[in-house]
Copies of this chain bind each other. A is one copy, B any other.
Amino acid sequence: MISGAERINRINPFYVMELLARARELERQGRHVVHMEIGEPDFPTPQRVINAGMKAIRSGDVKYTPAMGLPELRSAIAAWYRKRYDVALSSDRIVVTPGASGALLLALGALVNPGDEIMLGDPAYPCNRNFVCLFDGDPKLVPVDATTDFQLSCQLIQRNWTEKTCGALIASPSNPTGTQIAPTELKAIVRWIDARSGFLLSDEIYHGLEYDERAVSALEMTDNVFVINSFSKYFGMTGWRIGWLVVPDDWIERIEKLAQNIFIAAPTHSQYAAVAAFDPETEKETEERRCEFRRRRDYLHGQLLRLGFRIPSRPRGAFYIYADCSRFSRDSSRFATELLEEAAVAVTPGKDFGINAAEHYLRFAYTTSIENLKEGVRRLEKFLDSRSRLSVDGAAD
């Protein structure tokens, strides 16, 4: 028997995958399932992006690009920072990566020594802490709640920072809560970590999908930060597997060396396609989608509150609502399973995002049409009704 690496035992699978598999099974049996578990936009890739991708393939000349990415794409990303955030950024600091996954891999591979403690909020996107485990670091999960909008605050970071802590990972807008870090808080975090020579990794993959106020980039506050972004969400390019990483000036060489070795380069046609993501016509399309996501957020947020879910922090971005279902169940995983089996509505249980009160929470993704959401809400209401009747009946026994 080959024994293998111990880190494997510290990495969790996505529990929602079982649920998704069961949902697909129900669909094969002919049932219509309302999917509110999927963290992927339902819109197709914008047409100009598709056209650019097709053009890049047509000739068959699909060769490796430089490890850091196509120069024109790196420039286009730099221009986007200038336009959107008023941040002047040398394109040398931008690395094109195979999805945000590739960016996390590069950044954490370059930053984390075995045994290093890296701070993250709980709940948070599970891959982020699993990447820390991949490099034998120690993810230090700090429970966050509505008092800090489910985000790490400067105070929480200060309180939990130890001698072994090397850095912190933040995400705004956040998966699963959709909350954002306020600019003043972000500035305080940047300063505090910088003074300790720690690193800050800012996951900004949901930037662009903000519905109340603009999400600020950590790059507006400092050059000494690692920023992760992706074409998957706002630009609708999940399956293309393309994202980017911005690194501090003095990290460019080390990161390039690592990129050469661990992925050679991001997919070539995806890179050509991504250049068209910054086309003004594409921007119109992505902005329309953002408005549609906001309508969905408004609708679903209102309906979940009406049905009796508690939503302690306002979801301002991404496409998720993290709702407390403890009024209905003390076990959100069981609740999610029953909801799927009885009402054919799929949602993600809290335990996919951490251990902090996870059994009270469900993540609803509004990555489906308003009609589907309405149907989901209708089914959910009926499901809750039948449960409350059951418990009344049970009480009468």
Interface residues in chain A, defined as those with a beta carbon under 8 Å from any beta carbon in chain B = 1-8, 11-14, 17, 40, 44-47, 50, 53-54, 57-65, 98-99, 101-102, 105, 109-114, 126-127, 130-131, 134-136, 166-167, 197-199, 224, 237-241, 248, 250-251, 253-254, 256-258, 260-270
Residue in B40, B59, B265 whose beta carbon sits within 8 Å of that of A44 in the complex: B59
Residue in B13, B53, B263 whose beta carbon sits within 8 Å of that of A256 in the complex: B13
> 5 closest Cβ contacts across the A-B interface?
A44-B60, A239-B268, A62-B239, A13-B257, A130-B261
B127 and A197 contacting across the interface, CB-CB below 8 Å: no
- Cβ of A227 to closest chain B Cβ, rounded Å: 14
In the complex, what residue of chain B is closest to A115 when comparing beta carbons?
A: B114
> For residue A266, which residues in chain B have a CB less than 8 angstroms away from its CB?
241
In the complex, what residue of chain B is closest to A270 when comparing beta carbons?
A: B267
The docked-state distance in angstroms from the alpha carbon of A14 to that of B102 is: 19
The docked-state distance in angstroms from the alpha carbon of A46 to that of B61 is: 10
> For residue A265, which residues in chain B have a CB less than 8 angstroms away from its CB?
239, 241
- Cβ of A363 to closest chain B Cβ, rounded Å: 17
- Cβ of A57 to closest chain B Cβ, rounded Å: 5
Residue in B2, B11, B14, B111 whose beta carbon sits within 8 Å of that of A224 in the complex: B2
User: A260 with B14: in contact, given A40-B63, A63-B40, A266-B241 (CB under 8 Å)?
Assistant: yes
In the complex, what residue of chain B is closest to A133 when comparing beta carbons?
A: B261
A113 and B5 contacting across the interface, CB-CB below 8 Å: yes
> For residue A4, which residues in chain B have a CB less than 8 angstroms away from its CB?
110-111, 199, 251, 254
A12 and B62 contacting across the interface, CB-CB below 8 Å: no
Q: Would you give 28 A-B contacts (Cβ < 8 Å), ordered by A?
A: A2-B111, A2-B197, A2-B198, A2-B224, A3-B197, A5-B111, A5-B113, A5-B135, A13-B253, A17-B260, A40-B63, A40-B64, A44-B59, A62-B237, A98-B241, A101-B263, A102-B263, A105-B105, A127-B261, A127-B262, A130-B262, A134-B258, A239-B265, A239-B267, A240-B267, A241-B266, A241-B268, A269-B269
B60 and A57 contacting across the interface, CB-CB below 8 Å: no
A262 and B5 contacting across the interface, CB-CB below 8 Å: no
User: A62 with B240: in contact, given A13-B257, A99-B263 (CB under 8 Å)?
Assistant: yes
- Cβ of A388 to closest chain B Cβ, rounded Å: 36
- Cβ of A366 to closest chain B Cβ, rounded Å: 17
A239 and B134 contacting across the interface, CB-CB below 8 Å: no
A8 and B57 contacting across the interface, CB-CB below 8 Å: no
A238 and B54 contacting across the interface, CB-CB below 8 Å: no
The docked-state distance in angstroms from the alpha carbon of A37 to that of B182 is: 51
A241 and B267 contacting across the interface, CB-CB below 8 Å: yes
> For residue A131, which residues in chain B have a CB less than 8 angstroms away from its CB?
261-262
User: A57 with B59: in contact, given A2-B224, A254-B4, A260-B13 (CB under 8 Å)?
Assistant: no
A248 and B2 contacting across the interface, CB-CB below 8 Å: yes
B268 and A240 contacting across the interface, CB-CB below 8 Å: yes
A62 and B40 contacting across the interface, CB-CB below 8 Å: no
- Cβ of A319 to closest chain B Cβ, rounded Å: 15
A269 and B239 contacting across the interface, CB-CB below 8 Å: yes
Known: A5-B109, A136-B136, A240-B269. 19 other contacts (CB 8 A): A2-B197, A4-B110, A4-B111, A5-B112, A6-B113, A8-B110, A8-B254, A12-B257, A44-B59, A44-B61, A45-B57, A98-B98, A98-B241, A99-B263, A130-B262, A135-B136, A239-B267, A241-B241, A241-B265
